[in-house]
Structure 1
Amino acid sequence: MKRLLLLLPLAFSLTRPAAAQNAALNARIAKLSAQQETQVIAWRRDIHEHPELGNMETRTAGIIAAELKRLGLEVQTGVARTGVVGILRGGKPGPVVALRADMDGLPVTESPTLPFASKARAQYNGQEVGVMHACGHDTHVAMLLGAANVLSQVKKDLPGTVKFIFQPAEEGSLPGVTGGAKLMVQEGVLSNPNVDAIFGVHINAQTEVGTLRYRPEGEMASSDVFTIKVKGKSAHGAYPWLAVDPVVAAAQIIMGLQTIVSRQVQLTEDAAVLTVGMVHGGVRNNIIPEQVELTGTIRTLNKEMQQQIWTAVRRTATNIAESTGATAEVDIVNYAPVTYNEPRLTEQMLPTLRRVAGPEHVELQKAVTGAEDFAYFQEKVPGVFLFVGGMPKGKKTADTAPHHTAGFFVDESGLTLGVQTLATLAADYLTMKK
């Protein structure tokens, strides 16, 4: 007992310098993050004004690669087509932590309210569309570039390696084309060096600036794309009895699909969503077409419910079609798994979040039915995904434009918190694991 008492002061004396060193590093990261604000906003506005669709982010990738090379990082380009990876080796040996940002815009025509609003146009699914950063990926790139700048200035104090992953095509590739996080993982982005943990943030236009939101375990839903081809028999619109009308069958299928979530799923267990987003069929008002195609999305928060809904979609579509004399071919493809924040890692990093934003500004949120292909990284290594507030202070959520809409807006004063959060998560994780 006496020996233990003699050793305790020695133990405390050894931990005090380490704690002081971490505090000093965190303080420096906070100061450097604040100093990055003007540059981060400039990057964001430039990228916002020049958005690019998934797998086409060549200009954005060029900006990223040039900045990472300027910082002296090891840079790899052309990852998963247009992705960029930068490696920052700290001044001491240690684990490897990854930070990720997505780069792609959406086929949305922006409301011309900002001086740096996008005027870009592109081809998407055979149509000419406007292109807009309507989900904040421009801010994600800017924040991660800011974090790379900050960490490169403290690299001698980092016990390990930071891998910066700039990912294309988070919003999905065209049908039949693998892309995004899934392709990055397939190409080995989490190896050479092997990543031990990964962190990512997403701006949120309905969360007040200065706030961080998180959830352990299932945070965001899986996302599946279903296609139903309803095949009938064509005829003149004036003589419908000569046809097997796929339009009527498709309409009945659409209504039938709505009863899956409302009547066949136990919603007290978890949320679920089934939405038909596209209906294609016919070329003329007085011709009953031979085929109508329905496309939509399924969102679930666990695999059991996902499989239950898949089965119900197939049963509902095929049986309703058969009742009208038509047939239905059902194809369901998983786009992204559940975004799953590893519970132990989430708990381990909570003190970091509370220190960066303040305890009163770190909120536990409910699961959301939006999806994120960040989940593919989390399937391979422990990961935590967070939401950073982008709504102006004092504004009401109901008065803000949703993500993926033409009026989507981000308060840029919230970007510094994102930079500091990413940089501090990386530094603290490396310090904890050394």
Structure 2
Amino acid sequence: MKHLTFILILLGCNIIQSQTADTELMTMSELIEAKVIEWRRDFHQNPELSNREFKTAKKIATHLKSLGFQVTENVAKTGVVGILEGSTKGKTVALRADIDALPVTERVDIPFKSVVRSTFMDKEVGVSHACGHDTHTAILMGVAEVLSKSKEKIKGTVKFIFQPAEEGPPPGEEGGAKLMIKEGVLKNPDVDVIFGLHINSGTPVGTIRYKPGGTMAAVERFVIDVKGEQTHGSAPWTGVDPILISAKIIDGLQTIISRESPLVDEAAVITVGKITSGVRFNIIPEDAEMIGTVRTLDPKMRGLIIRRMNEMVPAIAKAYGGQAKITFQNNTSITYNDPALVTQMLPTMKAIAGDNNVVLSKATTGGEDFSYFQEKVPGFYFFLGGKALDTIDAPSHHTPDFYIDESGLVLGVKVMSQMTIDYLNAQ
């Protein structure tokens, strides 16, 4: 009985230990907080659009090389990959940060405000980090520095992936996570799991939000081309009205959501965001074009919705005497957090942020190309608080007034560092 009690005490100690933050890691993270903020401000003031992140990539590579990492540049055009070998052989954890900015003109009055101008889709635009990728990059550079000084704690390998073009490559170009995977970023060494985070302007500093399973949506862009028969607006019976057909198609598509999709399982959205047709008030045009998006969080629902859209669109057009075809372009897959991996890493998160600050959340219908990594290896993607505690309403991401409280960055460094070590040491 005494032996059994001793064993139980030892097991209990191990459990407690696995749920305790490493004091040395936490201290190192706090010591480089100012440096992380300085990096973030530099990236913020010098943003670069997707597949054009040349200066950003150079700064990242220089930092990783200074830490003694094995560094590969120009991955998927402008991506940077760094490899850190631990003290012993083991599994490989990948950590990913996205590095691109958006064609958004910043309005926030801060000392490091972006005044950069560039060209996007043949238009001159302002450029800013209106989604927080500058913070992701700075956080991961901080994690790299902390872990480089903790090699003796690492039982395996850490692969740092600084990914370009998360917001999507320019038309006619490849880019983002898809291209990194195509070029072998998850190989040599083979990645076992991948972790990523996203700053969130609406989540209070000090808080982490997560969800097992589908946490962000698969994003499909669709185009519907409708063909009618042009005629005078005074005599619609002498032609076929593609605008009327478009209206009926839109109405029909919404019934797929409201009457056919099991919304008690997960949310789903079909949105038509643009309709183009006609040139004059008294002419029924020959054709119409609709462009929209589908957002799904469950693979079966995704398959059902796309199948029914393919069936419904031409059928509705035919019923009104016209023709229509629909084409899809996949922008992201479902950002799917492996439930077992989430369960394994939650104690680490809670040990660092506090039980009450790690919050189970609902899914979001936004999309993330981190999902493509998760199709290949188990992954865990979570949200890090960036909202000032004295703020009531925070501007949304992708807007000119987007703002992040930098005091939240150090928690990102701590959590990513500890998760990496805890995962590798548990294997």
| Cα displacement string for residues 294-343 of structure 1 (whole angstroms, at most 9, x for unaligned residues) | 22111111122112211232333223333443321201122222111112
Mapping of residues 298-377 of structure 1, within 5 Å: 298-377=294-373
Distance (whole Å) between structure 1 residues aligned to residue 173 and residue 301 of structure 2? 26
> Which range is displaced more, 233-242 or 383-392?
233-242
Alignment-derived partner of residue 186 in structure 2: 190
Question: Given the alignment, which residue of 389, 414, 427 partners 2:408?
Answer: 414
Percent sequence identity over aligned pairs? 51
Q: 1:82 deviation in Å? A: 1.3
**Is the 2:336–2:374 Cα contact (8 Å) retained in structure 1?**
yes
Distance (whole Å) between structure 2 residues aligned to residue 300 and residue 244 of structure 1? 33
SS of residue matched to 2:22 = helix
CA change 1:151–1:231 in 2 (3 A) is same
Distance (whole Å) between structure 2 residues aligned to residue 175 and residue 268 of structure 1? 37
Distance (whole Å) between structure 2 residues aligned to residue 128 and residue 289 of structure 1? 33
CA change 1:240–1:42 in 2 (3 A) is farther
1:250 equivalent to 2:246? Answer yes
Q: 1:6 deviation in Å? A: 11
Alignment-derived partner of residue 205 in structure 1: 201
| Cα displacement string for residues 28-86 of structure 1 (whole angstroms, at most 9, x for unaligned residues) | 11111111221211221221222222222222111111111111111111111111100
Specify the code of the residue in structure 2 equivalent to 1:69. Answer: K
SS of residue matched to 2:273 = strand
Alignment-derived partner of residue 296 in structure 1: 292
CA change 1:8–1:243 in 2 (3 A) is closer
Alignment-derived partner of residue 161 in structure 1: 157
Mapping of residues 13-52 of structure 1, within 5 Å: 26-52=22-48
Alignment-derived partner of residue 220 in structure 1: 216
Distance (whole Å) between structure 2 residues aligned to residue 285 and residue 106 of structure 1? 37
Q: 1:186 deviation in Å? A: 1.7
Specify the code of the residue in structure 2 equivalent to 1:153. Answer: K
**Is the 2:93–2:159 Cα contact (8 Å) retained in structure 1?**
yes
Alignment-derived partner of residue 140 in structure 2: 144
Distance (whole Å) between structure 2 residues aligned to residue 175 and residue 290 of structure 1? 28
1:400 equivalent to 2:394? Answer yes
Q: 1:366 deviation in Å? A: 1.5
> Which range is displaced more, 416-425 or 291-300?
291-300
TM-score between both structures, scaled by the size of structure 1: 0.89
- In the alignment, structure 1 segments of 5+ residues that lack a partner are none
1:179 equivalent to 2:172? Answer no
> Which range is displaced more, 58-67 or 122-131?
122-131
| Cα displacement string for residues 341-375 of structure 1 (whole angstroms, at most 9, x for unaligned residues) | 11221111111101110111111112222221112
| Cα displacement string for residues 176-204 of structure 1 (whole angstroms, at most 9, x for unaligned residues) | 64421122112111111111111111111
SS of residue matched to 1:205 = strand
Distance (whole Å) between structure 2 residues aligned to residue 230 and residue 72 of structure 1? 58
SS of residue matched to 1:166 = strand
CA change 1:409–1:428 in 2 (3 A) is same
SS of residue matched to 1:379 = helix
**Is the 2:19–2:351 Cα contact (8 Å) retained in structure 1?**
no
Specify the code of the residue in structure 2 equivalent to 1:300. Answer: T
1:102 equivalent to 2:94? Answer no
Distance (whole Å) between structure 2 residues aligned to residue 16 and residue 261 of structure 1? 50
TM-score between both structures, scaled by the size of structure 2: 0.91
CA change 1:406–1:233 in 2 (3 A) is farther
Alignment-derived partner of residue 80 in structure 1: 76
Mapping of residues 104-119 of structure 1, within 5 Å: 104-119=100-115
**Number of aligned positions between the proteins:** 427
- In the alignment, structure 2 segments of 5+ residues that lack a partner are none
Alignment-derived partner of residue 89 in structure 2: 93
Alignment-derived partner of residue 420 in structure 2: 426
Specify the code of the residue in structure 2 equivalent to 1:218. Answer: G
